[in-house]
Amino acid sequence: MEHKNRPSILIVDDEPDATSTLSKFLSSRGYITDTAANGAEALNQVLSGDYHVVMTDLRMPGMDGADFLARVRFERPDLPVIVMTGHTAFETNDSIWANAGVAAVLHKPLNLREVSGILRDILT
């Protein structure tokens, strides 16, 4: 949620260490962060919150990242979504991801400098 005009980011990943590390990094850069462990939990947060960006993993139990992305596109079509993946099968193909409404694709392990740059580009 938004506090003092600071951008809010929802981080969705079923790996607690990954969400914790990314949340701490983004908080240190002035962002407000919330986390969710799966797509269903994240969708509830998107529907009840006011996020500027969502960062989601693709492979999660229950509602995976692809299903979550489809629901976000339906419910909040203008909300920027960044996909985070550690699987090489999901190669960056700008036209496919753009058609799915993805603002950017980040490969794990994340390069935090790249994360900062992409968020800056999306939020300005």
d(Cα 67, Cα 123) in Å, to the nearest integer? Answer: 24
Residue 64: per-residue pLDDT: 79
Mean pLDDT of 86-104: 66
Counting beta carbons within 10 angstroms of the beta carbon of residue 81, is it exposed (0 to 12), middle (13 to 18) or buried (19 or more)?
buried
pLDDT-derived band at 89 (thresholds 50, 70, 90) equals low
Listed ranges 2-11, 39-48, 90-99; the one with the highest mean pLDDT: 39-48
Q: Other CB atoms closer than 10 Å to residue 26's CB: what's the count?
A: 22
pLDDT 10s digits, 30-52? 999 999 999 999 999 999 999 99
* pTM for the predicted model, two decimal places: 0.89
Listed ranges 56-60, 64-68, 88-92; the one with the highest mean pLDDT: 56-60
Residues 31 and 9 sit within 8 Å (Cβ to Cβ) = yes
